[in-house]
Amino acid sequence: MFRVFLHLDMDAFYASVEQRDHPALKGRPVIVGAPPAQRGVVCAASYEARRFGVKSAMPTITARRLCPHGIFLRPRMEAYRAESRQIMGIVRDQAGDLIQQVSIDEAYTDVSARHQGETADASLERALPLARSLKTAILAARQLTVSIGIAPNKLLAKLASDHQKPDGLTLIRESEKVEFLKPLPVRALHGVGKITEEHLHRAGLHTIEDLQNHPGDLRAIVGAWGTELRRFAFGIDERPLEVDEEVKSISSENTFARDTEDRPTLRTCLKGLAEDVAHSLGQHRLAARTVQVKIRYGDFTTLTRQISLEEPLTEARDLFRLGCWLLARERLVSRPLRLLGLGVSGLVEVRASQLHLPFGN
């Protein structure tokens, strides 16, 4: 049986919900996050704001400098979660129950059984009416746009959904996949983060075509994962849907030998925790949308505080910065700490950057 996957990705989800609920914001640069007059970070940005360089996890004061006419709104996470439930209900009604929801605004669905043709390409093309119907239904019911990718596996379906954002629909045929991948940067492949990218660049491998043509064993460059990386470079991905994801969260914590409120000590500790968490994310080839700090005082009072972003994070420096911000915002270091922890959740597969790809429908 030929495989047919759809990947659905809502467009600028948090900001789009705000623009829908407040029509006066339509077409204006909306920035979801703390007000710039306060210490805070950007959780999400509309496409109008992104044109100015505004992005998730950026300090709001920087966002204000880049986009002086931006409209700053506090996030309404419960509203976004409720919206997500409505949208995923539409997807289940039309596509069936084989759905892997990987974040609040993103999901895969396997429709292989329903769209079989004489060839792999014919099977994929048979899914086009379903994809168009999903886009129409979500727009009619929720007044929001979604970008959808159709492909023979998860790797390519995700790349396809990123291709023509916003409101895109892209089909990557089995017969086109190798040529489709050639001009893309190595970072576009699932699992290639900053460190792996640096190793590949040092070896002179910058595009996926470079990986396809490399005569040596990629394991000599990136370790045991090199075999799978070469398969990905040729568009081969046999991962099934994961309806129940095993990894829900990742965290690291440190109990101090003596309670402390020494700022350099706490910063050094938090930096190490961020590096541990980032390393674990890299091992699982995941990114995180929610960052949480945990503190425990000498009397064993334990508190946690968190922030959720629209764009997922992978880098230790971003996790460290958000951890510092949460500690400062909540004034958690008001007395000596017995324990300090950093964790992430809302885990998603590493997202490729917005790409300009050569094929589309």
Among 106, 228, 310, 311, which one carries the catalytic annotation?
106
Give the mean model confidence (pLDDT) for residues 204-218.
Answer: 95
Q: Which residue has the higher pLDDT, 204 or 243?
A: 204
Predicted confidence (pLDDT) at residue 96 exceeds the cutoff of 90: no
Instruction: Report residue 148 as tokens.
Output: 């959808």
List the chain domain ranges: 5-11+78-178, 14-76, 191-233, 249-349
Predicted confidence (pLDDT) at residue 243 exceeds the cutoff of 80: no
- In sequence order, the 6+-apart residues with CB closer than 8 A to the CB of 287 are 281, 312, 313, 314, 347, 348, 349, 350, 351
Among 53-57, 119-123, 351-355, name the most confident range.
119-123
pLDDT of residue 358: 35
Residue 106 falls in the annotated catalytic set: yes
Fold match flag (5-11+78-178 vs 249-349): no
Predicted confidence (pLDDT) at residue 360 exceeds the cutoff of 50: no
**Phi and psi dihedrals of 120, rounded to 5?**
-60, -45
- Per residue in 239-250, is it b (16+ CB within 10 Å) or e — as a string? eeeeeeeeeeeb
pLDDT of residue 139: 98
pLDDT of residue 351: 57
* Single-letter amino acid, residue 11: D
Pick the CATH number of 249-349 from 3.30.300.20, 3.30.1490.100, 1.10.10.10, 3.30.70.270: 3.30.1490.100
pLDDT of residue 361: 38
Tokens 């329903």 sit on residue: 114
- In sequence order, the 6+-apart residues with CB closer than 8 A to the CB of 224 are none
Cα–Cα dist 195/54, whole Å = 24
pLDDT of residue 357: 37
pLDDT of residue 359: 36
pLDDT of residue 15: 96
Q: What is the DSSP string of 163-200?
A: HT-SS-EEE--GGGHHHHHTTSBGGGSTT--HHHHHHH
Q: How far apart are the first and last CA of the chain?
A: 24
Cα–Cα dist 131/135, whole Å = 6
Q: Among 98-102, 116-120, 317-321, 349-353, where is mean pLDDT lowest? A: 349-353
Give the mean model confidence (pLDDT) for residues 30-59.
Answer: 90
CATH of domain 14-76: 3.40.1170.60
pLDDT of residue 167: 96
H/E element holding 271?
helix 263-284
pLDDT of residue 354: 34
How confident is the model over 189-199, as pLDDT tens digits? 988 877 889 99
pLDDT of residue 102: 82
Q: Which residue has the higher pLDDT, 251 or 46?
A: 46
Q: What burial class does residue 11 get, using C-beta atoms within 10 Å of its C-beta: 0-12 exposed, 13-18 middle, 19+ buried?
A: middle
How confident is the model over 55-79, as pLDDT tens digits? 988 889 999 999 999 999 999 988 9
Instruction: Report residue 291 as tokens.
Output: 């960052």
Predicted confidence (pLDDT) at residue 332 exceeds the cutoff of 80: yes
How confident is the model over 130-172, as pLDDT tens digits? 999 999 999 999 999 999 999 999 999 999 999 999 999 999 9
Closest residue by Cα to residue 163 from 151, 178, 175: 151
Give the mean model confidence (pLDDT) for residues 234-252.
Answer: 80
Q: Among 81-90, 248-257, 317-326, where is mean pLDDT lowest? A: 248-257
Band the pLDDT of 244: cuts 50, 70, 90. Answer: low
Predicted confidence (pLDDT) at residue 246 exceeds the cutoff of 70: no
CATH of domain 5-11+78-178: 3.30.70.270
Predicted confidence (pLDDT) at residue 248 exceeds the cutoff of 90: no
